[in-house]
Amino acid sequence: MSFSQDIDIYKKTGNTEFKLPNIPNSMSVDEFQLLSRNTRMIDMLHAVVVPGHIHFKAKSPLAGYTLLTLRSLAYIGLLDVYVYKKLNGENLINLNPFSSSSESAIVVNDNWQIETTDIIATISTVVIVGTYLYDWIHGKQVLERKQELIRYKYSVKFKLENSHKTTSNSYIPAMGVAIHF
């Protein structure tokens, strides 16, 4: 008799990683992967580090790479602003952004002048936050929609397949002995 050499917080009666599901022959590996995936809280953190993470998880690579590109451009924009302000000895955070006096400022009227770097920084920040939220909310929706379609398809087909059978019971008679501790 062997004893567990691992410490588990939850009760574990078997190796769940080696559980082989009985999947339909016509199910593709993509569909199988989509069905086995869920968006969890940890994915929110992953999505901060990897732009487009949820879309990649939902197998929407086009949207994923678009978000990755947009967020990368936004980071470059922020870095550009940082370097520019450092080189010119300006404060990184302008407490009164609408009354700038530098030459590069865009003049809206006498009382309203906006620094170009502030516009870039604001747009970059909006893009970073926006792509994150879009990735999380839309990606989750895409994953769920795909899972619904797969579940619907195979559920209806199983139902139709069973209705064609001549016998009503498809179970295999078997005997077994189980000991639980």
Partner 1 sequence: MKRYFILILIALSFTKTGVSQFSTSTELQYLQLINKQGDKRLIADNLRNAELAADSIITQHSNNLLNAYFFAELGKSYFLVKQYDKALLSFFRQHYLFPNDSADRETKNLFFETAFHCHFTDNEISQFWDVSKMNVSFNKRLIIFLEQAPQIHSRHLRPYILKIGNFLKSTGEPVPIFYHQWESLVTVNMRERHLKTILPLLVNNSTPVYKQVQIAKRLRLKIYRKTIRHFLHINAYRQAFVLLNDYRTNEDLSFFQKADALIKRTRIAIRF
Residue 154: CA count within 13 A, CB half-sphere: 15
Q: Which of residues 49-88 bind partner 1 (CB under 8 A)?
A: none
Q: Check residue 160 for interaction with partner 1 (CB under 8 A).
A: yes
- Map residues 127-146 to x or -, x wherever contact with partner 1 holds by CB under 8 A: ------------------x-
Q: Check residue 172 for interaction with partner 1 (CB under 8 A).
A: yes
Could you say which of 2, 91, 170, 176 contacts partner 1 (CB under 8 A)? 170
The answer to whether the beta carbons of residues 114 and 98 sit under 8 Å apart is yes
- Can you tell me the distance from the alpha carbon of 23 to that of 153, in angstroms, rounded to the nearest whole number? 13
The answer to whether the beta carbons of residues 105 and 114 sit under 8 Å apart is yes
Residues 6+ apart with CB under 8 A from 56: 50, 64
Written as six digits, the tokens of 1 are 């008799």
Q: Hey, how many other C-beta atoms are within 10 angstroms of the C-beta on 96?
A: 6
- Can you tell me the distance from the alpha carbon of 63 to that of 55, in angstroms, rounded to the nearest whole number? 6
Nearer to partner 1, 128 or 143 (CB): 143
Nearer to partner 1, 30 or 45 (CB): 30
Minimum distance between the CB of residue 19 and partner 1, rounded to whole angstroms?
Answer: 17
Q: Check residue 156 for interaction with partner 1 (CB under 8 A).
A: yes
Stretch that binds partner 1, among 7-15, 86-94, 96-104, 152-160 (CB under 8 A): 152-160
Q: Check residue 157 for interaction with partner 1 (CB under 8 A).
A: yes
Could you say which of 16, 22, 101, 166 contacts partner 1 (CB under 8 A)? 22
Q: Total number of residues binding partner 1 (CB under 8 A)?
A: 19
Q: Check residue 25 for interaction with partner 1 (CB under 8 A).
A: yes
- Can you tell me the distance from the alpha carbon of 63 to that of 56, in angstroms, rounded to the nearest whole number? 8
Phi first, then psi, for residue 112 (nearest 5°) are -135, 100
Footprint of partner 1 (CB under 8 A): 22-26, 28, 145, 149-150, 152-153, 156-157, 160-161, 164, 170, 172, 174
